[in-house]
Copies of this chain bind each other. A is one copy, B any other.
Amino acid sequence: MKEFTHLIDLDDFDLDFIERLITLGADIAVNTKRYSSACFGKVLATLFYEPSTRTQMSFQTAMLRLGGTLIGFDNPETSSVAKGENLKDTTKIVSSYADIMVMRNPVEGSAKAAAISSDCPIINAGDGGHLHPTQTLTDLLTIRMEKGHCDNLTIGICGDLKFGRTTHSLCKTLSKYKGNKFIFISAPELMMPDYIKDIIKANGGTYTEKYSLEEAVPELDMLYMTRIQRERFTDANQQLAANFNLTCDIMKLAKPDLIVMHPLPRVDEIELKVDDDPRAKYFIQAKYGVYVRMALILEVLKNDHPVKLLTKGFGSYDCTNPKCVTQREKYLPHSFHRKGDVLVCDFCEAVTLP
């Protein structure tokens, strides 16, 4: 197992490293052309085991704007590599072709599984619902660029907070900055899970819960909207969904320097007319996603933050998560770390009782 600065999970890095990335991303946003040959001669492979056109294009644009080049696939149906062989063999080969690899894979823990046998650094572009760290980096650069800082903010997070993992990652990271107040805006059955609230409290932050945008919006510095899946609401609460649509009327209640963000694509949770409001930052947020990925590629290629992938503990246990990559790729070592009374799988982070 070779050591690289893989980006599998943002939790593998301290706030200093994340700040270094964001600061570099901010410089790239302003002086993009200065970086136009920084990756000359380098090849980025994008291995997308499920289509995600925008994420893939964002990485591709980032590499091209650094003067690098691209290989990869986007369609598992037509990719013999994606169909025909185990993740280890694909990773060994592609990492011998490329200098850096971006992987998206619906199987949880895939990026880490690939990193174990990779001969180049890997960036996780989403592994099932599990992790999607470059979305969080995109969000952080947007806040930095549009608010000037990531601390001392009143932050509204709206939508399906229970299942929407990008909001979990964002809250975990923002809670490391000082003085942030969180307002969670959702239906009771889709509220932020306790373990995120615990992290916020442990980091010295505060949070409240509200059941409508109207009520929450006036005090916000930043509003993070996400998709609502109506089918997840109980029948009794169907009418609640309408409370989480951002309209021009609601924008009238907000501060003049509010910023509105959304990871996109949206369904109908933001009225299209809001796009014309200068406080709507979700399109430029996509552009910042390119800059922060440029910064990430540069930092990862420096390779001065080697990541420890496995704790190598409790190898006789099996992960019980049916979506875990260890269920599919049978050659993988089993590896868990202890967390209180339970064992946590090093790949998918699911909890297994010892």
Residues of A within 8 A of B (CB): 33, 36, 41, 43, 45, 51-54, 57-58, 60-61, 64-65, 69-75, 77-82, 84-85, 88-89, 92-94, 96-98, 264-266, 272, 275, 283-284, 286-287, 290, 331
Contacts and interface: CB of A to CB of B under 8 A. Distances in A.
A51 B69 CA distance: 21
B52 A80 contact: yes
A54 B290 contact: no
Contacts of A45: 57
Given A53-B80, A93-B54, A272 B61 contact: no
Q: How many copies does the complex hold?
A: 3
A65 B44 CA distance: 12
B54 A287 contact: no
Contacts of A275: 88, 92
Nearest to A92: B283
Question: Which A-B residue pairs are the 5 nearest by beta carbons?
Answer: A53-B81, A96-B287, A85-B265, A64-B69, A61-B97
Contacts of A287: 96-97
A283 B71 contact: no
A285 B89 CA distance: 12
A99 to B, nearest CB: 10
Given A93-B286, A283-B93, A331-B272, A74 B78 contact: yes
Contacts of A70: 64
Given A93-B286, A272-B88, A71 B43 contact: no
Contacts of A92: 275, 283, 286
A128 to B, nearest CB: 16
Given A85-B266, A92-B283, A272-B88, A80 B64 contact: no
Given A33-B41, A61-B97, A93-B283, 12 more contacts: A52-B80, A54-B93, A57-B72, A77-B78, A80-B265, A85-B266, A88-B272, A89-B265, A92-B283, A96-B290, A97-B287, A97-B290
A57 B61 CA distance: 19
Listed residue (A52, A57, A60) with the most chain B CB atoms within 10 angstroms of its CB:
A57
